[in-house]
Amino acid sequence: MLRCCAFLAALVLASFTAFEAHAERRVAFVIGNSEYRDIPALKNPDKDAEDVSNTFRLAGFDVFVAKDLTKLRFEEQFRNYLAAADGADLAVVYYSGHGFQIGGENFLIPVDASLKAAADIEVQAIKLDDVLEQLRAKSKIQVIILDACRNNPFPRKDYWLRDQLIAAGGTGLAQVKSSLNTLIAFATEPGAVAYDGASDLSPFSSAFSRRALAPNQEIRTVMAAVRRDVVKATDGKQVPWENSSLIDEVVLMRRASRPALPPVLEKVVPSGVGPVALDLPEPVDVDGGAVTVSIERPPALGRLTLDGKPVAVGQPIAGKDLPRLKMDVPKGSGAQEEVDMLAYATHDNWGGQSQGILVFRVKNGNAAEGQQLMASLEAEQEQQVLERGIHITGAAEAIENRDVSVPIGVGPVPLKLVFPTKDPTVSVKLASYPATGTLSLPDRTLSPDSSLMADEVDHLRYEPQIGAVKPLSVGFEIRADNTPSKPATMKLSPSVDACDREAGEPLDLQGVVPGLLPNEISSNAVDVCRAAVKAYPDIARFRYQLGRALLVAGKVDEAKKAIQEAADMGHVRAVFELGYLNATGTGMPVNRKQANTFYAAASDKGDPYGMTSWGRALFNGYGVDRDATKGLDLLLKAAAMGHTYAMNDLAAIFTEGRNGVPADPARAVAFLKAGVERQDMYSMNLLGRNYLAGTGVEKDPKSALELFQKSMDLGQPYAPGSLARMYRDGVGVQQDLAEAQRLFEVATDRGDQSAAYDRAALELQRGDKADQPLAVRYLAFAAALDVRNEIPDAKATLAKFGAKAKTAALKQLRGELKSKISAEGSLDVQLVKTARAVWEQANPRRDLF
């Protein structure tokens, strides 16, 4: 009979709709810019950002929140966000602050923007289309929400936009064309102004935070409700608007989990003794909502009561009251053991439901046998309460004061808590959620309101937020029916893998650290990156960083293999690196066409290095038909991401005026200053030259001297030569030929062919006292290092020297080599070839910078 009843219970369970949960990767970047430095502050954005970020956190997003961002801080935070959004199901950017349009292009304004000069828009503001393109390259679905439709507060009216000066719009933002599966929402319609409102929150942000928390509402329905609220709050003056090309459903506050409870339980119920407690466990809604219960199939052998009152079929019961449900079986039933069944359903606030079954055996509760049965049941109940208390205490001890090291950038990391009980009546409520990052189970992401069942705790995972390394605390409340709850707190300590510390690359949008230049990579990097690849074979980033370390160590073939593997696994910077290897002939013949193929692929994925190299090739026609317009656009996009190499290329273009782009030295200086702000040693050297010559700025030898010195201290190869010329000519400093000589030699050692030529010239200025072999030596270095034939006079001047000086210089150079070199060709050919070999021996790495 019991077997038949269990079969019936299975049929009843199968009739209920099941919700299939799955863990989505959803990442939000929330920005509030209030405290502007050169224009009036805004009162709402900081509060808007706080409120909206809490909304997304409650919805289970990994939330990056930033307030009062400068342009530099935006670049840093946005890169971290993009690394987290890599492969995400949904990427959201929410911006509250100043914004305006120029020529149909929308710009978001950091708090340090002054926008006084025509070029400032390119280096101080954030182009919305650039943000959107990056999101498209990273995620399946993109949502951008803008509460930035305020008046343009800047007095200047025209700015550079690509190759033209364009007038700025006075009010609002322009309409944006969205690509497939994108939604862009504005606080008001295109060209109109949004209002701050009377409260701490703007009308738009307030309505969004309130409406976005509606469970299981598709975002277009949410935005329609937001529109109604804002129109009402502003008396029709402000009408929110959105442009959608979504083909997938987007639900911000997804609540698809069923209330958790054991599906089938068994119970012995004596007859004729009055109402007997069924000890049904309280259902737990894992999403944190209230639960109600209804009886779907009542027992046939008795009646149900709650607090002495009968319970009818379909009557709603609060979930917390379910443990007090009793059953009264009349006397006479169970003379011979009978089997009965109770079926009940649980319902949460957002439509989730689950089914519970209680299969019970009715036994005679009369006479001595009944008394023994009652005593046994009471003892069993007392034992259950005692065991639950022990379980709760043990569970709290298993969690309390644990400190778990969690590596950053390897996905969700199991916390391995080893929970000591699987008792279905025990649940764990999140009492405090970590300030950053996300907690999850394999089937769902948890929010601050979530609960877990006892059998789920062992599977709890945490994914730290990229860029956040401070220890975090997580609080739990461990609960069970009719038993006092226990609190427990543990610590999560995010950690950066040694491979990331030793070989991470700057501006890697799949990286987790600010990164190092090649000359900063240590000899230890190969070992730690090999260990990282072994520990995390599925993380492409570690294979690429191993390739970087191997290149520095001179192990080119191994490096190429690691880089190729990383590219095959989807690491975009590795794709760029394959292009660089082809372009430079590192470990393979030079192949500019193949290099451009890799550069274009990396560029299409939003990589700043790829955009710079592909943009440079297109602008100049290197190995591809020239397309100056597209090339310039790519260089500007890379510069907007903070890539200083692109800034320096743009500075050269704007200084001279090339390929239809008008010369504007002041625009060039704006990019060089942006590069200096990002501590780029090449920008420092170039800007120093501008100050020295008065190109785009007033002449300022003192500033030039400071920039050259700092650039040289950072290891820049050409800065010592720039500084040497100041000492040689007595410009901005007292003339010092000895110091000029020393600096020219330092620059030559770093690979500066012009400095080598100037060192030879400085020696020849001594006339009869000149050291002829020394002059020949540096002319040989000038020719050897001049791979682009920029100093043809080097070879011409070398040819004028006699055989005696050349032979002496060649002998000295050969003596510095550790290996022999062929003596074929003329003295001049041998000198240049030997000088090159000496320099490469001292500089074995493929690219120091």
pLDDT at 18: 41
Task: Determine the average pLDDT of the residues in 16-41.
Answer: 80
Token couple for 446? 């948890």
Task: Decide if 428 contacts 452 (C-beta within 8 A).
Answer: yes
pLDDT tens figures, 220-250: 999 999 999 999 999 998 999 999 999 999 9
Three-state SS for 27? strand
pLDDT digits (tens, 9 = 90+) for 51-79: 999 999 999 999 999 999 999 999 999 99
Q: Can you tell me the mean pLDDT for 800-828?
A: 92
pLDDT tens-digit readout, 295-329: 999 998 889 999 999 999 999 999 889 889 998 88
CB 318 within 8 A of CB 478: no
Q: What's the pLDDT score for residue 6?
A: 45
Q: What are phi and psi of 101, to 5 degrees?
A: -115, 150
- Bridge partners (DSSP) of residue 492 are 404, 472
Residues 849 and 842: their CA atoms lie apart, in Å, by: 15
Other Cβ atoms within 10 Å of 21 Cβ, number: 17
Residue 482: both structure tokens together: 């009719």
- The per-residue pLDDT for 333 is 65
CB atoms within 10 A of CB 267: 18
Q: What is the mean pLDDT of residues 659-687?
A: 96
- Residue pLDDT, tens place only, 381-390: 666 767 777 7
- For the cut 60, the answer to whether the pLDDT of residue 255 exceeds it is yes
User: What share of the chain in percent tops pLDDT 90?
Assistant: 65
* Residue 722 exposed, middle or buried by CB count within 10 Å (0-12, 13-18, 19+): buried
E strand or H helix at 100: strand 99-102
Phi-psi sector, 341: left (phi>0), alpha (psi -120 to 50), beta: beta
Average pLDDT over residues 483-507: 94
pLDDT at 13: 44
Question: Strand (E) positions, 291-419?
Answer: 291-297, 303-306, 309-310, 317-318, 325-328, 338-348, 353-364, 403-407, 413-414
pLDDT of 85 reads 96
Residue 460: pLDDT above 90?
Answer: yes
pLDDT of residue 107: 92
Binning pLDDT at 50, 70 and 90, where does residue 779 land? very high
For range 539-556, the mean pLDDT? 95
Q: What is the pLDDT of residues 164-186, one digit of tens each?
A: 888 887 677 878 877 789 999 99
Q: Which of the four pLDDT bands, split at 50, 70 and 90, describes residue 11?
A: very low
Strands (E), 675-717: none
Using CA atoms, how far apart are residues 385 and 119, in angstroms rounded to an integer? Answer: 73
Mean of pLDDT over the chain: 89
Q: What is the pLDDT of residue 90?
A: 96
Of 11-15, 704-708, 753-757, the one with minimum mean pLDDT is: 11-15
Asked if residue 10 has pLDDT above 50, the reply is: no
Q: Is the pLDDT of residue 711 over 60?
A: yes
Query: Please, which pLDDT band fits residue 645 given cuts at 50, 70 and 90?
Result: very high
CB 98 within 8 Å of CB 153: yes
**pLDDT at site 168:** 82
| pLDDT at position 302 | 87
Instruction: Average the pLDDT over 658-673 and give the result.
Output: 95
What mean pLDDT comes out for the span 543-570? 96
The pLDDT of residue 263: 67
15 has pLDDT over 70: no
**Of the ranges 28-42, 443-457, 543-557, 674-688, which one carries the lowest mean pLDDT score?**
443-457
| Least confident range of 6-20, 136-150, 506-520 | 6-20
Whether the full predicted model's pTM is greater than 0.75, yes or no, is yes
What is the predicted pLDDT for the residue at 844? 60
pLDDT of residue 306: 92
Lowest mean per-residue pLDDT among 89-93, 180-184, 273-277, 552-556? 273-277
Residue range 600-614, pLDDT digits in tens: 999 999 999 999 999
Q: Name the pLDDT band for 8 (thresholds 50, 70, 90).
A: very low
Burial of 727-762, coded b for 16+ CB within 10 Å and e otherwise, reads bbeeebbeeeeebbbebbbbbbbbbbbbbbbbbbbb
Please check the confidence at residue 160 and state whether its pLDDT lies above 70: yes
Model confidence over 339-363: pLDDT tens digits? 888 899 988 877 778 888 888 888 8
pLDDT at position 49, please? 94
End-to-end CA distance of the chain: give it in Å, rounded: 80
- pLDDT over threshold 50, residue 16: no
What pLDDT sits at residue 93? 97
Q: CA 475, CA 400: separation in Å to the nearest integer?
A: 9
Separation CA 414–CA 459 (nearest Å): 7
Supply the pLDDT for residue 12: 43
Instruction: Tell me: pLDDT of 1 over 50.
Output: no
pLDDT per position as a tens digit, 77-134? 999 999 999 999 999 999 999 998 888 889 999 999 999 999 999 999 999 999 999 9
